Structure 1
Amino acid sequence: MHIRKLTASDAENYLKLCETIDEESEFMLFEPGERKLQAQRQIKQIQSGVCEVFVCAADDGSLVGYVAAVRGQVQRTRHRAHIIIGIRQTYIGQGIGVKLFQALEKWACEEKLHRLELTVMTHHTAAVRLYKKMGFIIEGTKKHALKVKGQYVDEYVMSKLINE
């Protein structure tokens, strides 16, 4: 397994990875089939500097996980990035999340970002544990932030300050 930046040639495989994770997990924002992102649009976002994506490739070259950072677009938010992470179900628990976060944080430090933030369903204990391990703290709870399978679900807002 190795971690690297997403490239233009990864676009189709990256979208397939996102769609597969959406199908495998109830913890992602998108329902299966709901994602409308197009490969070329994703690449344009990355090339413009709006978004940075790191992927985890298995030994056979297939993509098994990703972490994306979407930077603030206005002057007052350019110091922060919102983080999204997804890992294929069969690869969870193998240290991929830690490696993805390490690559992302190295990039964030080089880019002089100051704040990383994310949201996570409060009952997704494995993810909360990973985020805390990586230095994120819970800032608050968004009550009934999502509706999953007809039930309201709370989300934690978590953040980590870097480059202090």
Structure 2
Amino acid sequence: MIIEKQQYFVNELNYIVRSASEKDAKQLADLRLQIDGETEFLDREPGEAFIDQVGFEQLIKRDTENPRNLFLVAEVGDRLVGFSRCEGSQLKRFSHKVEFGVGVLKEFWGYGIGKNLLSESMNWADHNSIKKITLQVLETNEKAIRLYKKLGFEIEGTLIKDKILSDGKFYNTVIMGRIND
């Protein structure tokens, strides 16, 4: 699915949130790899489940053609600095919901990029008969959990000892959802 691009000016930074296009594929491959190495809040370590340029071209094409999927990027000048995806299921019993995921370069944290990627995704969902958005967040990512709650998400459950981080300890994953009645 495609949305109209939106321009933002936050803390002296101009950026655009728009639908991903196939020409973004190379930058997205590099961006995802860099983001994976900057935080342990995400599922992957650097290089795990790597998606190359061709893989991103295919993913963007599928998401653009699928009315239940949305792939967004955040762009500063000509540089991609973040992305998000909403992915729906092909199964009829789950056709009312999508799962949201997001990543933003650490140097661009604090500019509302993740919040605006999510807000644009919520707006898209609300206007496309999607009744529920779900997401998963590491229990220690308290800032993200506060943001999600502020935007109407509720904690639905916890996956106990779901991840092992670099310190060798287990951490829980919080499952959150937002229902649009």
Cα distance, 1:97–1:47 mapped onto 2, change above 3 Å: closer
How many pairs align?
162
From 68, 71, 75, the counterpart of 1:53: 71
* Partner AA of 1:9 in structure 2: K
The range that moved more, 150-159 or 46-55, is 46-55
8 A Cα contact 1:83 1:117, kept in partner: yes
From 86, 93, 109, the counterpart of 1:69: 86
From 134, 141, 155, the counterpart of 2:173: 155
Please give the alpha-carbon distance, in whole angstroms, between the structure 2 residues aligned to 1:12 and 1:35.
16
**2:156 matched to 1:142?**
no
**2:42 matched to 1:28?**
yes
1:12, distance to aligned residue in structure 2 (A): 1.4
Q: Hey, what does 1:103 align to over in structure 2?
A: 120
1:55, distance to aligned residue in structure 2 (A): 0.9
Please give the alpha-carbon distance, in whole angstroms, between the structure 1 residues aligned to 2:82 and 2:64.
20
Identical aligned pairs, as a percentage? 28
Q: Hey, what does 2:95 align to over in structure 1?
A: 78
Q: Where does structure 2 lack aligned partners over 5 or more consecutive residues?
A: 1-14
8 A Cα contact 2:64 2:71, kept in partner: no
SS of aligned partner of 1:26:
coil
Please give the alpha-carbon distance, in whole angstroms, between the structure 2 residues aligned to 1:155 and 1:17.
24
* Partner AA of 2:72 in structure 1: F
* Partner AA of 2:83 in structure 1: Y
Please give the alpha-carbon distance, in whole angstroms, between the structure 2 residues aligned to 1:39 and 1:101.
20
Q: Where does structure 1 lack aligned partners over 5 or more consecutive residues?
A: none
State the TM-score, normalizing by the size of structure 2.
0.84
State the TM-score, normalizing by the size of structure 1.
0.93
Cα RMSD for the two superposed structures: 1.3
